[in-house]
Structure 1
């Protein structure tokens, strides 16, 4: 309890400092050439599934090499662990109930203040390659140039597809449907390398988001050479996978790691290209994922639920030496909406008033500490991964360094001591020994919800408020 109270005390001090920090103007009249920005975004890559994180099933030498040169936010969280909500928070710096993309297959407001618009205004060439999932006009539809691309100029993207070997995309202004050549993880990497090489003669810096669809299911679709590396019988499962699911989970994990093996090689290709072109010394690289994958843990698959396999994501920041930030492993619980303001500050771009996330630049520089608990949220108790019959429910919660606490519409739901119960198998809600901790986390959660203006209503009330469509049953959103 003393340890928790100490950290909560830090939270009170530094949350005030960070909120003030976002209002600061970070532009400098005598600034040097701004760094390039490359965001490597993967889909459904859980935090533990890397060599540097100690996963016994996978070797990721290229990612491990990047981690050694980077700031590793080992406790990073996807605050609403679903594809579209994370992506909207990434490019707006806002929480899902502010930007309104709290579910998949709806459109982000085209008037939003976004990554693409801000970097373009600051003189950057902006590019986007791969999965978008913010347009809401159908998963294979053409997203025309202009406001629906949210400020990105160069474009080789698709709304959403997981057919990795017959993957649809559209190039720049051409409305003709195209297919990536072969396995799209490889083709998208080649496109990113070509784009970055093309920027070597440009006077202005680039900002590129490379958004892969892997290692998201279907799991058994990586090239055969990668699938051959992983055999189900050799897979070591997490302790929280039920006995009756183990055989299937081992098969799926073998395919999952095959996708990761391919991605690791592509990260190596990206790094080699940046080094060979001389761009690495002036490029910020952020490697992360939109959420994790339960993959059998707690008897579930995919995401949305508040367990670590779902909410925790890898988060590496490679920062050029010229910015004076040393590689390190950091404890802070960086959340989805915090990425944009931190990037803007590192690139000496003003952080707009619309941004709600924390600017971690001073934290990275060692000038202050931040021990703010990460807020985790789920709005709708339905959809493919969070159905009520599979224990899905609306929730609000906090992830601290030591505990995960969530509340559903009926009150306290889950409390885990993550230090002593890393697989989150012992729910401590109502446990007398943890009553003080539960009460303090519940109080803090109430404060955070009040601070955010979140009334924690039933999911359908948010659907109706935003005017999102439902199917003929009136309960389940559909993809327009």
Structure 2
């Protein structure tokens, strides 16, 4: 009997609301919530962010009617970890998805379950990437299989593929595990499915997540209509792209921007549907991305790195019933764990104790109440495209409104003054005149790590703790790796 009581108390401690979080003021009618996110869309690749090359008129107009988060930070800038954190409001070392294609626990307290428990209809469309595979299977074994009902984390309406990067004539599975094709470029039929969901559920509050695959590579597979809009020779590149790679970068950018413009059109369809159904005012709609892409800045591609091209993402939150249709600029950071509690706060839903992030919504109207001064950035285990042999390394860091500070296992690694050095070309981590700033940021980082019970251990410790296996050559180490680990061990004795 005592054992049963202990189990009940433990379960209640996860689901009970946190008493340190004030519920936001919301309209009497609970808002609908639509969370739209792309894959690998970096923050600067929008017109409203100042990029003169990319064509994003819908997003730019939406920015004029939204809360614009200028420093939206992907806490762990890679696909599955972001999704695990989005769904749970927890850091990757808590929910366990710090390596792609690993499973999110079936009993996790998640976005879909919380909203559903509070009377919301729930739907998910597009890329999932939190089902994972069993140890011993091929790393991508689950990517083309249906997600079992018990692993859908509270979402009922279901048009999902675990993972694909073929955006033309791709397939998905429905609620009954039946396989269907998305005709043409999948972003558009996925958006049409979202519009259908909205029409069928507009009489009661709903939560809808729409997860697009592009502009994640392959870069040159957008419809021809959009590819024709971009001439590589006319595109500019960021100053931190090495001169020898600038022509290649322009070719990549042309395809990348074509995907972005196609998604911009799709978002326009979605916003128009909200207007047509008469529910735009009482709908919270978020547009963002899971992480960015280096796109040959610093001579590298893709994500996982701690630089802004990888960690910063666009983020707009439009909620006319609460904020009107005016632009509100937020320069304080918001990290991935903060997304779920913020949506819950805006919806008037109590925040479960399991959530580690902060509800930033009080700080939107009153900057003095903004609860986040620095967002954690982390990579407990480098893998795949940035595996150890490709220069990958474990790191923990903090991105504030002005600075980026990062530690590796060997000690302080990077320090940038992003106000003076927006392309992060001057590493100040060893500069004597920045010693006090480095020490201040190090203390700030240490406080976050202690709060989240993050001991910042070598990658192998976390893989063993979670009984994960490495994929391919991810576990191979360069010669200096263990020397760096030993150096850290000596410093912390």
Q: Do the aligned partners of residues 473 and 400 (structure 1) sit closer, same or farther apart at CA in structure 2, a change above 3 Å counting?
A: closer
Partners of 1:179 and 1:264 lie apart in 2 by 22
Q: 1:22 to 1:104 in 2, by over 3 A?
A: farther
Q: Secondary structure at the match of 2:281?
A: helix
Shift of 1:319: 1.0
Distance 2:217 2:111 in 1: 28
1:23 is matched with 20
Q: CA deviation at 1:27?
A: 9.0
Whole-Å Cα distance in 2 between the matches of residues 404 and 21 of structure 1?
A: 30
Asked if 1:170 is matched to 2:170, the reply is: no
Indicate the residue corresponding to 1:125 in structure 2. Answer: 121
Confirm or deny: 8 A CA contact 2:24 2:346 kept in the other structure. Answer: no
Kindly state the Cα deviation for residue 244 of structure 1 after the two structures are TM-superposed.
Answer: 2.0
Task: Confirm whether residue 109 of structure 1 aligns to residue 110 of structure 2.
Answer: no
Residue 396 to residue 322, structure 1, CA distance change in 2 (3 Å): closer
In structure 2, the partner of 1:152 is: 155
Aligned residue number for residue 205 of structure 1: 205
Partner of 1:260: 260
What CA deviation, in whole Å up to 9, does each residue of 1:341-374 have, x standing for no partner?
0111111111000000001121123262335111
Report Cα offsets for 1:171-209 as digits up to 9, x if no partner.
111x23222111001111111111111123x3x211100
- Length, aligned pairs only: 451
Q: Gaps (5+ residues) in structure 1? A: 1-19
Which residue is 2:230 aligned to? 230
Pairwise CA distance, 1:383: 1.7
Local SS of the residue matching 1:126: strand
- For the residues of structure 1 that align with 2:86 and 2:19, how far apart are their CA atoms? 16
TM-score of the two chains, using structure 1 as the length reference? 0.90
Deviation at 1:168, TM superposition (A): 1.9
Cα offset for 1:89? 0.8
Tell me the residue number matched to 2:374.
373
Aligned twin of 2:423: 423
What secondary structure, in the 3-state scheme, does the structure 2 residue paired with 1:306 have?
A: coil
Q: Secondary structure at the match of 2:211?
A: strand
Mapped contact 1:23–1:351 kept (Cα < 8 A): no
Cα distance in 2, alignment partners of residues 87 and 142 from structure 1: 18
Report the CA distance shift for 1:53/1:255 in structure 2 as closer, same or farther (over 3 A).
Answer: same
Measured after TM superposition, the shift of residue 285 of structure 1 is 0.3
Note closer, same or farther for the CA distance 1:141–1:430 as it changes in structure 2 (3 Å cut).
same
Q: Which residue of 2 aligns with 1:85?
A: 81
Residues 101-156 of structure 1: per-residue CA shift (max 9 Å, x gap): 011101100100000000001000000000000000311111122x2000000000
Do the aligned partners of 2:27 and 2:321 also contact (CA within 8 Å) in 1?
no
Shift of 1:59: 2.1
Asked if the contact 1:283/1:319 (under 8 Å) is kept, the reply is yes
Tell me if structure 2 keeps the 8 A contact 1:46–1:313: yes
Give the ranges of 4+ consecutive aligned residues of structure 1 lying more than 4 Å apart after TM superposition: 322-326, 471-474
TM-score after normalising by structure 2: 0.88
